[in-house]
Amino acid sequence: MNVQSTPVLAIDSLRVEYPLANGSVFTAVENASLIIRPGEIHALVGESGAGKTTIGNTVMGLLEKPGRIAAGSIHIDGKRFDPARGSAEGIVLGRDVGAVFQDPMTSLNPLFTIESQLTEAMRFHLRLDKAAARARALELLESVGIPEPKRRLKAYPHQLSGGQRQRVVIAAALSCNPKLVVADEPTTALDVSVQAQILKLLRDLADGRGIGILLVTHNMGVVAQIADRVTIMHRGKVVETGTTEEVLRRPKASYAKALIGAVPRIDQRLDRFPVLGDEGKGRAERARAELRAKAERSNVAAEEAPILSVENLCVDYTTSGWLPGSKGHRFRAVDGVSFSVRSGEVFGLVGESGCGKTTIANVVSGLVRPTAGRVLYRGQSIAGGGASRRVGPLRQAIQMIFQDPYSSLNSRMRIGSILSEPILFYRLASTRAEAENDVARLIEAVGLEAEAAERFPHAFSGGQRQRLSIARALGARPKLIVCDEPTSSLDVSVQAQILNLLKDLRDATGLTLLLISHDLAVVRQMCDRVAVMRQGQLLEQADSETLFDAPQHAYTKELLSLVPTLDRIRGETKAA
Amino acid sequence: MLKVLLSRLGQAALVMLVVSAVSFVMFRYVGDPVATMSRENASVEEKAELRRSLGLDQPLVVQYGRFLGRTLRGDLGISYRNQRPVTELIAERLPATLELVIVATILSLALGIPLGVLCALKPNGIAARLVQALSLIGISTPTFVTGIVLILVFAVSLGWLPSFGRGQVVDLGWWSTGFLTISGLKSLLLPGITLALYQLTLIMRLVRAEMIDVLSSDYIRFAKARGLPTRYIHFRLALRNALMPVITVTGLQIGSLIAFAIVTETVFQWPGMGLLFIQAVSFVDIPVMAAYLLFVGLLFVLINTVVDILYAVVDPRLRARSA
C-alpha cells in the first residue's frame, strides 16, 4: 500500500439531503469523511437507513432526485466531483468507477446475453470494436474464475448460478480498468461458500490491481475478513472509523460496541442476543402469558415425542419434455431425508441454497407434495403415504413464517384483518370483539403497540413486519412453527431482536420451531438440534453444541470454516 | 417446445368445438329464417318445402353434425339472404376488415409506444401530462362517438377525407386491397384512427407503466453505474424489457379489433365482415352469423397461439423452461 499516492476516493465532510414535501429537509448523510487509497478495501458499515448506500450512490453519481449534496466534497482519483454534472471532471462512471450491486439475480438484464452486457461498457468507454471487446470479455470472465467462459458469453443470466452472476457483475465492473469499485452488499445474497470465493476475488483485485474498493455492507464477518479500514455509520453520521482491527477489537463509540455485540457468534452459545435498546417488556410479557393460558385451554392432546417426524422423504421436480407424455428432465430436490423434531425444541435445518431445505419446509407446511416417503405429525401422517387431506386441526397446528416480510403480508389489508384471519378461520374466537382482543394481545406479544391493528403493512419496517408475520402465525395457536429464513432479510440488530422474540415465545408458549437457515451463527444461537443438508441429502444431525464444536462430516467442517467471523480479523497477527 | 405447441393446438381444437356448438345452438333460437325468407302470402306447403330444402326439418343433433362436417370441409353453407356460399361472402369481405385492423394496429403501436416512453421518461413534462389527460378521453369515449366526430370534422366540415366506403380498390387475385390507390388510402384513414384510438391509449398506458417499472429495476441502475449513454439505456435496454407485455396485449387486441370492428364498420359503412355480420343479424341469416362467430373464434385462438410462441422467442427464460 502506497501511502503517498493520490487517494482513489476522498470524501470530506459530506452532507447529503433530501428535501421533503412539507418543506423540511431530511439529512441522509451528515459530515461524513473517508479516504481510500489504491489497493485498499474500506468497509462502510451500518444498518439500513444509516446512509451507507447513499454515500455509495453519491460517489457513483446515482443519487436519486431530489437528493442533493448540500455540503462537503468528494474527490475521485484527485479530481473533484461536480454535483451538477453528477461526476468529476475527467472521471467517467463505468470506466474509472466500477459498481457491484447486492443482488446478482436482478442486476443483470434477463433479456440480453452475458456477452452483450459485458462488452457494451467497453465499446462505449474504450471504443473497442466487437471482436476486441469480446476477446477482453473472455479474459475478464477467466480472471473472475468462471469456467468455460466461451460458452458463458452466449448464455443468458438465468442460465448462471447466483455466484456466477455476481462474478459476471464484477467482471463488468472491471471491464474498463477502474481505479475505484463501489461494492454495495456484494455477498449478502450469496451462500457462505460462494461468499468466501467472491470476497477472495475482491481482495485479490485490490492487492493485484491496486483497485480501491468501497465496500458497503452490514455483515461484520465480511468486514473482518477482507477490509483494511472500517467506517461505522449510524443515522447518517460516522460514529467510528479506523483500521479493521482497531474498530472491531476495541470499539470506542457505544453504538459501535452494540452493533458488534449484536452479531450472532458462531463460536459460543449465548442465552440471549445483546440488543440495542429495550422493548416495552412488561406489556409483552403479560400478553404472552395470556396467549399461553389460551393455548393451554385449547390444548387437549397429550404431549408425546416426537411432534414431527420426516421419514425417507423424497421430492422430485420434473420439467415437461419435448413430446407429449415424455417425462422430461427430473430433478430430485430432497433425497431420502429422515429426521424427527421433539416437542418443545428448536430444530435447525441448514445448508446452502438449492440444498432442499425450503422444499422440506414446504412439504411440512403442506405446500408441496412429496414424491416418496412421508411426514408424521404426532404419529399421524400428514404428507406422503397414507396422508389424508389436511383438515382444520392439523392445518392449524403447523404454521409458517416466511423469509421476506415485505411480500408475505398482503399490502392491501389492515394488520388487524391480517391477524384476525387465522383466528376467525379456525373459529378460535366466538365473537368479532373477542377476535379483535386476541389480535391486540398478539401484537403486544410480539413487542408492538396494539394500535398497529389499524394500519397497513407499508407503515412498518422490515423488522416490525416480521414481528407481525410471527403474530399471524401465532394467531392460529400452532404447536409447530416452520420458520424459513426468518431473519435473513433483516439488519443484525433487528435480527437479534426477532431471534430473541422467537426464543421468548418458545419459552412462553411451549412452541416447537423448525428453523431453516443458511446462517450457521444464527442456527447455533437458536437451535437445540441441527441437521446439515447438501444437494437434497441430510449429511449429519446432532445436538447443536456437538455439531458446532465437533463436526463429523467434512462438508460441515468446510461450511463452518468458511463463515466469516469476528475471530479472524484481517491485519491481525494470525494467532488462531 | 413441440409438446407445448401440440398441447396448445389440442386446446385450440377443443375451444373451436365449443365455439361451433355455441354458435350453432345459439342461432338455432334466434328466429325463424323461413318466416323472413318466404313471401308474406306463402302457403304452408311452400314454407315446409323451403324448410326441408334448408335442412331445418331434421333433429338438432343431426343438423349440428351436418354443420360440423360441412364446416370441416370448408363449406359454411349458403347465405339465406344472398343465396351465395358463406365462404365466398367472407372471403370477399375479409380483406377489407383485415386491412382496417392492420392499419389500426400499426397506428396504435407506432404512436402508443413512443408516447408511452415519453410519459415514462418525463412524467412531469407538459407533453406527458397532456398525453395522459388525452388518453383518458381516448379510453373512455365509445368508438361510435369517435367515429361520428371524426366524420363531422374531417369529412363534413373540412371535406378532406371520405366518410364511408373503401374508395377505389385493386384486386390482387382474390384479395382486394385499398393500399394501392390514393382514394383507398384516404378512406382507410378515418376508420383506422377510430378503431386504433382505444388500442393506442391502452398500449401507451401499458408501455408507460412497464417502462417506469423497468427504469427503477436493478439492472437499469447497474447499466447506469456502468456509465452507458442514457439513450442507449432507455431505448436499447429498457424498452425491450418494457415491450414484453405489449406483445401479449397487442396479440389479444388484434382479435378484439377484428371482433369490435363491427361498430366502426357500421359507422363508416365499411364493406368488411363486421358489416356483413350486422346485415346478417337484421336478416336472421343464420349461416352467416354462425360462420362469423366461428371465424372470429378461430382468429382469437390462432393469435393467442402465435403470441405464446412469440413470447418464447423474445424471452430467453421461457425458451429454457419449455425446452
Give the DSSP per-residue string, B102-146.
HHHHHHHHHHHHHHHHHHHHSTTSHHHHHHHHHHHHHHHS-HHHH
> What mean pLDDT is predicted for residues A554-574?
78
User: What pLDDT is stored for residue A576 in this prediction?
Assistant: 36
Domains held by chain B: number: 2
Spatial distance between the Cα atoms of A188 and A377, rounded to a whole number of angstroms:
35
Task: End-to-end CA distance of chain B: give it in Å, rounded.
Answer: 6
User: Within a domain: residue B279?
Assistant: yes
| Tens-place pLDDT, residues A135-156 | 989 988 888 888 888 888 888 8
Q: Residue B321 has what pLDDT?
A: 47
pLDDT of residue A36: 92
Best to test chain B binding among A59, A102, A105, A112 (most B CBs inside 10 Å): A112
Does residue B199 sit in the same domain as residue B295?
Answer: yes
The pLDDT-based confidence of A530 (bands split at 50, 70, 90) is very high
Residue at which a domain ends, from B37, B72, B107: B72
Select the residue of A62, A158, A182 nearest B317 (Cβ to Cβ).
Answer: A158
Are B52 and B102 contained in the same domain? no
Q: What is the mean pLDDT of residues A492-511?
A: 83
Domain boundary among B40, B72, B104: B72
Show the domain range for A458.
281-319+330-386+394-562
Which of residues A177 and A265 earns the better pLDDT score?
A177
Chain A: give the shortest CA distance to residue B144, in Å.
Answer: 38
User: Which range is least confidently modeled, A95-109, A278-292, B160-174?
Assistant: A278-292
pLDDT at A515: 92
Q: Nearest 5°: CA angle at A343, between A341 and A344?
A: 110
Which of A158, A180, A184 to mutate: most B Cβ within 10 Å? A158
H or E stretch covering A360: helix A357-365
List the CATH number of the domain containing B146. Answer: 1.10.3720.10
Same structural domain, B248 and B133: yes
B95-134 pLDDT, tens digit each: 888 888 889 999 999 999 999 998 888 888 888 888 888 8
The alpha-carbon gap from A439 to the nearest alpha carbon of chain B, in Å, equals 36
Give the residue from chain A lying closest to B2, CA to CA. Answer: A322
The answer for residues whose C-beta is within 8 angstroms of residue B306's C-beta and 6 or more apart is B251
pLDDT, mean of residues A378-383: 83
- Please state the φ and ψ torsions of residue A12, each to the nearest 5 degrees: -125, 125
In the predicted structure, residue A42 carries a pLDDT above the cut 90: yes
Of B27, B45, B72, which residue is a domain's last? B72
Q: State the pLDDT confidence band at A300, using cuts at 50, 70 and 90.
A: very low
Looking at the complex, does the CB of residue B66 fall below 8 Å from at least one CB of chain A? no
The C-alpha of A322 sits at a distance from chain B's nearest C-alpha, in angstroms, of 5
Q: What pLDDT does residue A304 have?
A: 55
pLDDT, average across residues B72-92: 80
Q: In this structure, are B270 and B146 located in the same domain?
A: yes
Residue scoring higher pLDDT (A489 or A167) = A167
CA of A394, closest CA in chain B: separation in Å? Answer: 35
How many independent structural domains does chain A possess? 1
Percent of chain A surpassing pLDDT 70: 91
pLDDT tens-digit map of A186-196: 887 777 888 88
How far B208 CA sits from the closest chain A CA (Å)?
19
Domain membership of residue A444 (yes or no) is yes
The CA R_g of chain A, rounded to the nearest whole Å, is 26
Q: What is the pLDDT of residue B323?
A: 37
Asked whether residue A297 is domain-assigned, the answer is yes
CB-neighbour burial class of residue A222 (10 A; exposed 0-12, middle 13-18, buried 19+): buried
For residue A251, cis peptide bond before it (omega within 30 degrees of 0)? no
CA distance A19 to A17: 6
- Is B252 an interface residue toward A (CB < 8 Å)? no
By C-alpha distance, the chain B residue nearest A56 is B225
Best CA proximity match to A204, nearest among A233, A236, A226, A181 = A226
B80 belongs to a structural domain: no
Answer yes or no: do A156 and B316 touch at CB < 8 A.
Answer: yes
Window 60-79 of A, Cβ < 8 Å to B = 60, 62
Residue B129 contacts A, CB cutoff 8 Å:
no
Kindly state whether residues B180 and B278 are assigned to the same domain. Answer: yes
pLDDT at A2: 47
Q: Which residues of A touch B244 (CB under 8 A)?
A: 111
In a domain? residue A409: yes
Question: Do residues B111 and B19 share a domain?
Answer: no
How far B14 CA sits from the closest chain A CA (Å)?
17
Same domain, B103 and B31: no
Measure CB to CB from residue A101 to each of B218, B232, B241 and give the nearest one: B218
Strand order through the sheet with A229-234: A87-88, A79-82, A68-76, A9-19, A25-36, A237-243, A229-234, A41-45, A212-217, A180-184, A97-100
Q: Closest Cα to residue A372, out of A325, A341, A337, A340?
A: A337
* Mean pLDDT of the region B6-17: 82
Touching check for A106 and chain B: CB below 8 Å? yes
Domain containing residue B105: 91-322
**Does residue B296 fall inside a structural domain?**
yes
**Contact of A186 with A168, CB cutoff 8 Å:** no
Mean pLDDT of B297-312: 80
Contact (Cβ atoms closer than 8 angstroms) between residue A434 and residue A396: no
* Same-domain pairing of B16 and B43: yes
Residue of A nearest to B312 (CA): A111
Q: Give yes or no for B223 touching A (CB within 8 A).
A: yes
Q: Are A366 and A382 in contact (CB under 8 A)?
A: yes
**A–B CB contacts, 8 A cutoff, strictly below:** 91
* Interchain contact A121–B (C-beta under 8 A): yes
**Banded pLDDT at A299 (limits 50, 70, 90):** very low
| Contact assessment for residue B95 and residue B180, using Cβ atoms and an 8 Å cutoff | no
Task: Report the 10 Å Cβ neighbour count for B54.
Answer: 18
Name A406's Cβ contacts closer than 8 Å, sequence gap at least 6.
A462, A465, A489
Closest-CA residue of chain A to B316: A111
Query: Which residue is closest to B244 within chain A, CA to CA?
Result: A111
Contact assignment for A99 to B222 by CB distance below 8 Å: yes
Residue A224 has pLDDT above 80, yes or no: yes
Q: Are residues B147 and B277 in the same domain?
A: yes
* CATH (domain of A379): 3.40.50.300
- Burial class from Cβ neighbours inside 10 Å (0-12, 13-18, 19+) for residue B44 reads exposed
| B314 has a chain A CB within 8 A of its CB | yes
Confidence of residue A296 (pLDDT cuts 50, 70, 90): low
In percent, the amount of chain B with pLDDT more than 90 equals 2
User: How close, in Å, is residue B305 to chain A by CA atoms?
Assistant: 17
Window from A51-65, A222-236, A382-396 with minimum mean pLDDT: A382-396
Chain B residues inside the 8 Å CB shell of A169: 222
Residue B322 grid cell? 419449455
Instruction: Among A121, A320, A326, select the one facing B226 at the smallest CB separation.
Output: A121
Q: What is the pLDDT of residue A514?
A: 93
Is the four-CA dihedral B277, B279, B283, B285 of positive or negative sign? Answer: negative
Q: Which has the minimum average pLDDT: A396-405, A406-415, A563-572?
A: A563-572
In a domain, B77, yes or no: no
Tell me what pLDDT residue B16 has: 86
B81 found inside a domain: no
Structure confidence at residue B31 (pLDDT):
63
Q: Give dist(CA A421, CA A473) in Å, integer.
A: 10
B78 within domain boundaries: no
Question: Do B211 and B176 belong to one domain?
Answer: yes
Which one of B3, B217, B221 has the shortest CB-CB distance to A322? Answer: B3
| pLDDT bracket for residue A513 (50, 70, 90) | very high
A165 sits in which H/E element: helix A162-174
pLDDT of residue A306: 84
pLDDT of res. A23: 79
Are A108 and B222 in contact (CB < 8 Å)?
A: yes
Please report the pLDDT score of residue A301 as a whole number.
45
Q: Judge whether residue A213 has pLDDT over 90.
A: yes
Instruction: Kindly identify which residue of chain A lies nearest to residue B320, measuring between CA atoms.
Output: A159
What 3-state class would DSSP assign to B279? helix
Establish if A531 belongs to a structural domain: yes
Give the Cα separation of A442 and B312 in Å (integer): 47
A378-411: b (≥16 Cβ within 10 Å) or e: beeebbbeebeebeeebbbbbbbbbbebeebbee
Mean pLDDT of A42-56: 85
Is the separation of the CB atoms in A573 and A391 below 8 Å?
no
pLDDT in tens, B34-50: 766 667 777 788 778 87
Q: How confident is the model at residue A388 (pLDDT cuts 50, 70, 90)?
A: low
Contact A320 B322 (CB under 8 A): yes
pLDDT band at A531 (very low <50, low <70, confident <90, very high): very high
Of B1, B6, B228, the CB nearest to A120: B228
**b (16+ CB within 10 A) / e for A421-436:** bbbeebebbeeeeebb
Amino acid (one-letter) located at A50: A
pLDDT digits (tens, 9 = 90+) for A322-340: 554 555 677 888 898 999 9
Give a yes or no: residue A443 inside a domain: yes
Average pLDDT over residues B255-264: 81
Same domain, B179 and B285: yes
Residue B291 lies in a domain: yes
pLDDT at A73: 87
Q: Is B217 on the interface with A (CB under 8 A)?
A: yes
Put simply, whether B229 touches A (Cβ < 8 Å) is: yes
Residue A407 is assigned to a structural domain of this protein: yes
The answer to whether residue A549 sits within a structural domain is: yes
What are the chain B neighbours of A121 within 8 Å (beta carbons)? 226-228
Confidence of residue A518 (pLDDT cuts 50, 70, 90): confident
By Cβ distance, the residue of B2, B227, B314 closest to A94 is B227
Q: Which residue of A has its CA nearest to B313?
A: A111
- Which chain B residue's Cα is nearest to A123? B228
- Determine contact: B317 vs chain A, CB below 8 A: yes
Same domain, B63 and B204: no
**A438 close to A432: Cβ distance less than 8 angstroms:** no
CA distance A507 to B7: 54
The answer to whether position A290 is within a domain reads yes
